[in-house]
Structure 1
């Protein structure tokens, strides 16, 4: 079973996928998955002897749970419009999609400089930086993830409430995959298309759109309810999520309700804690051992 096979073909991984399938000679079924229809089925998947099973609604580009809005930007550079929008959205989890890594860096730095709790995610970042960004966004220690279309596939993050298209999607496939990050399963979410003075809502999205009017005065950027701490030990040190939770309660003095998501990775761990407790917590953890081993505890930012 290969997920997102169409994107893998687009990125030039046909030889790698074919090599994997050839090594599974005893496999009785070969299943290729995608959220959008793809007329091209590679020869290695079984030639002409395949069945196409579609759960897509031919009449609708989006599930009923997504509401789409057009947000007009008076300037070609949409930074101010984006900032005002995320201020209105407050602590809601929002993904901001752009087409280029350099644009992600520029927009992410702009939002951070204006007090927005935002992190960046694109293919040019080191693996540890990407993992840290996903944890912080997933656990709620930042409210905004600024990203390329790398985040449009394969990420299943609970509770994403908004998808913001800073750069308009170039085609319907990109539009569907980006919006698919919200309203998962039977959930509800919103998609916002930021439209500059010389742009138009794409035809494939036009019928879905409602106009969203930003208020004249917007609130200050919302502070996250959670903070993420970095712990310098992980699975290779036989650390488990239970070990981390117990450590934060016993040595850190936290209550269960003050601990959020915990991710234990091979060489380090991340834990979400009540943002109002984090600085006092780090003071209490200084010099403490987790499972008998000293390590680093610091704010992951």
Structure 2
């Protein structure tokens, strides 16, 4: 346990995580309710790990998640635990052939979205006979997104499950009978309150179209990491476009985008190439991006649950954050907004925030090409003559990679590396637009 915590950079478990581990040892089935950002991923992965047997050439545990981003995040945490067990994630937008190759030698743990898991089971890519542990993370969201039939198929395809764990950050709706819970123990760690480090503020727009108010607000906040939530996909693209036209660097993100475009948008937001992400509620779960300072509710959330999940992207694990609700002249604040929420008054003049200092470089090689993060860092350091402070976040995918490079160094780097190879492989390297 101490080795795992050290690998994750954590000193000790919190009370919720300790309770989940204890319940995992004694109860057949567990329902875990805990606030967003409280560490639920580790709270279910540790009990799963305790049940995994080394030397078993079969899949032993399955985690079902509502979104591909959440699947990616869980896989990232499990890999960081350095357990020695093989893990694979399966989700829409990911090459099925890549997943099928990874599944040929059965992983001990599979993480995936309902539709893609069902597809693999039907094709015989996943052998479910040895799966004894089932986790459904954010299970309420899975049902809400219309995955009920696929989840039912997946669950009914698991003949040997003897332990189930369901997690959520909100009081859940009714759990369907097909989940087959057996006298579940419920651990309710929901505080019912905003995190103590979360400040909630309101802003009145004088016009029904709140775009100018949003622009002036962002100018006031500066270039801190900010997520702007809209209720519809077309509004996301329109809002991001209006901000770009006014000189605000931003990226947008929603469910109708191709997976590659979603990866690029999130990468640029994570590494500081863009400090503003305009998105739908797709980003309200599964994104664990550190140091997000502001959440802006450009459109009012549909309900209190959505409000909670949006705000959960900031003020995580004791960090501070601010949620700002913008209302138009005909909109009233929802009843769940605190009466003492501070009202923001915008300055009379708007000054554009400083531009981000980073650019993102695309590299046409990844994990499947035997290229890892150390290789890329070494390449840019040795061949590109980059100093440590001029190379930012490096992310390596299956067949591609991204690296953040200080803007002032990009032209020089591209000139130095144009004829160089990464691990004896000729690759294409260019600036991501």
Please give the TM-score of this superposition, normalised by the length of structure 1. 0.95
Tell me the residue number matched to 1:182.
314
- The structure 2 residue matched to 1:40, chosen from 155, 174, 177, is 174
RMSD between superposed Cα atoms in Å:
1.4
Provide the rounded CA distance (Å) in 1 between the counterparts of 2:190 and 2:326: 27
1:266-285 alignment to 2 at 5 Å? Answer: 266-285=398-417
- Distance in 1 of aligned mates of 2:229 and 2:416: 39
What is the CA deviation profile of residues 16-51 of structure 1, one whole-angstrom value per residue up to 9, with x for unaligned ones? Answer: 223333343333321111111113112122346222
Matched, 1:123 2:250: no
Unaligned runs of 5+ in 2: 1-134
Which is helix-richer, 1 or 2?
2
Match of 2:151, SS state, is helix
- Note the 1:129-148 alignment, pairs <5 A: 129-148=261-280
Measured in 1, the distance between the counterparts of 2:254 and 2:173 equals: 28
* Corresponding position of 2:26: none
Q: Distance in 1 between matches of 2:380 and 2:261?
A: 24
CA contact (8 A) 2:164 2:181 kept: no
Aligned partner of 1:64 among 178, 181, 196: 196
Cα distance in 1 between the residues matched to 2:405 and 2:340: 39
Distance in 1 between the 2:358 and 2:249 partners?
11
Q: CA deviation at 1:207?
A: 2.9
Counterpart mapping for 1:146-161 below 5 A: 146-161=278-293
Q: Does 1:167 align with 2:296?
A: no
- State the distance in 2 between where 1:208 and 1:44 align: 44
Q: C-alpha distance in 1, partners of 2:255/2:355?
A: 27
Corresponding residue to 1:12 among 139, 142, 146:
146
**Partner-residue secondary structure (3-state), 2:163:** coil
Secondary structure of 2:346 counterpart: coil
Q: Give the aligned partner of residue 80 of structure 1.
A: 212
The CA distance in 1 between the partners of 2:417 and 2:245, in whole Å, is 30
- Please say if residues 293 and 314 of structure 2, whose CA atoms lie closer than 8 Å, have aligned partners that are also in contact: yes
Structure 2 distance, partners of 1:168, 1:300, is 32
Distance 1:52 1:113, change over 3 A: same
- Determine if contact 2:140/2:173 at 8 Å carries over to the other structure: no
SS in 2 for 1:54: strand
The residue matched to 2:360 in structure 1 has which SS?
A: strand
Report Cα offsets for 1:80-112 as digits up to 9, x if no partner.
Answer: 111111112222100000010000010011111
Provide structure 1 residue ranges, at least 5 long, that are not aligned to the other structure.
none
In the alignment, structure 1 residue 299 sits paired with structure 2 residue 431: yes
Q: Secondary structure at the match of 1:52?
A: strand
Aligned to 1:238: 370
Contact 1:116 1:222 in 2 (8 A): no
Matched, 1:103 2:103: no
For the structure 1 residues 208 and 99, does the alpha-carbon distance in structure 2 shift closer, same or farther, using more than 3 Å as the test? Answer: farther
- The SS at the match of 1:53 is strand
Aligned residues: 299
Q: Does 1:2 align with 2:111?
A: no
Matches of 1:208 and 1:161 in 2, distance apart?
21
SS in structure 2 of the partner of residue 276 of structure 1:
helix
- The corresponding residue for 2:329 is 197
CA distance in 1, matches of 2:395, 2:228: 24
Contact 1:69 1:211 in 2 (8 A): yes
- TM-score normalised according to structure 2 size: 0.67
Aligned mates of 1:187, 1:27 — CA distance in 2: 38
Within the candidate set 172, 175, 188, 1:54 is matched to 188
**Residue 361 of structure 2: SS of its match in structure 1?**
strand
Distance 2:390 2:340 in 1: 40
Secondary structure of 1:132's counterpart equals helix
Cα distance in 1 for partners of 2:387, 2:394 equals 15
